[in-house]
Amino acid sequence: MRKLVIASNNPGKLHEIGHLLEPLGLEVLPQSVFDISEVDEPYCTFIENALAKARHASRCSGLPALADDSGICVNALNGQPGIHSARYAGEPKSDERNNQKLIEALTHQSDHNAHYYCVMTLVRHVDDPQPIIADGSWHGQIIPQPRGNGGFGYDPHFYLPELGVTSAELPLEQKNKISHRSQALIRLVESIRQEMVK
């Protein structure tokens, strides 16, 4: 495995994943290089949606493919937006409208605890019966006023009490060490590394 396609068109996500995969020496290509369209995500779990995206990208590119499915799960909303995080406020996708809807939904809630969750899957080929799967969670709280200019999605409202900042206020290097996506990807990378030395 020397080349890998990432099943995403999200610039922020591609940057984070590409940065974390650099040490493996893999040639990492976004799915846009192959004109691969986004696939439907009809499932009710992160893992099923991530596998659907990885298999679709592998089928269209003929390469191993890595995909993630991630979102923010809010305690007071029974885990919502969850798998619907990217389209929480409907189409077209809009971080601003998603955040506005989330803040409105929490207006009369006392519990603002939430966590980002990410599942990473890697298929070596489209019909891979043993995909590599890893996950990660990142706990914090939702605050009503946005803070910071970094990150994407819900990051300006995702507050980390132990650090006193939002995810959007973290330098990328620090975020890449502690985020849900980095936790999942670090575990995935370790599995890939072990497989490469066999």
Spans of all domains in the chain: 3-196
CA distance 101 to 99: 5
Which pTM value belongs to this model?
Answer: 0.89
- Sorting pLDDT into bands at 50, 70 and 90, what band is 112? very high
* pLDDT tops 90 at residue 192: no
Q: What is the pLDDT of residues 154-166, one digit of tens each?
A: 999 999 999 999 9
Q: Which fold has domain 3-196?
A: Maf protein (3.90.950)
Q: Which range is least confidently modeled, 41-45, 98-102, 138-142?
A: 41-45
- Sorting pLDDT into bands at 50, 70 and 90, what band is 196? confident
Q: Is 135 a catalytic residue?
A: no
* pLDDT tops 90 at residue 41: no
Question: What was the pLDDT predicted at 97?
Answer: 97
Q: Which range is least confidently modeled, 48-62, 96-110, 176-190?
A: 176-190
Which carries the bigger pLDDT value, residue 18 or residue 163?
A: 163
The residue-averaged pLDDT of 103-107 equals 97
The residue-averaged pLDDT of 166-188 equals 91
* pLDDT tops 80 at residue 1: no
Q: Which range is least confidently modeled, 81-95, 97-111, 128-142, 176-190?
A: 176-190
Q: How far apart are the first and last CA of the chain?
A: 12
- Residues pairing with 158 in the sheet: 142
Question: What was the pLDDT predicted at 194?
Answer: 85
Which carries the bigger pLDDT value, residue 38 or residue 105?
A: 105
The residue-averaged pLDDT of 120-140 equals 97
Question: What was the pLDDT predicted at 48?
Answer: 96
List 68, 69, 135, 155, catalytic entry: 69
Question: What was the pLDDT predicted at 31?
Answer: 95
Which carries the bigger pLDDT value, residue 138 or residue 12?
A: 138
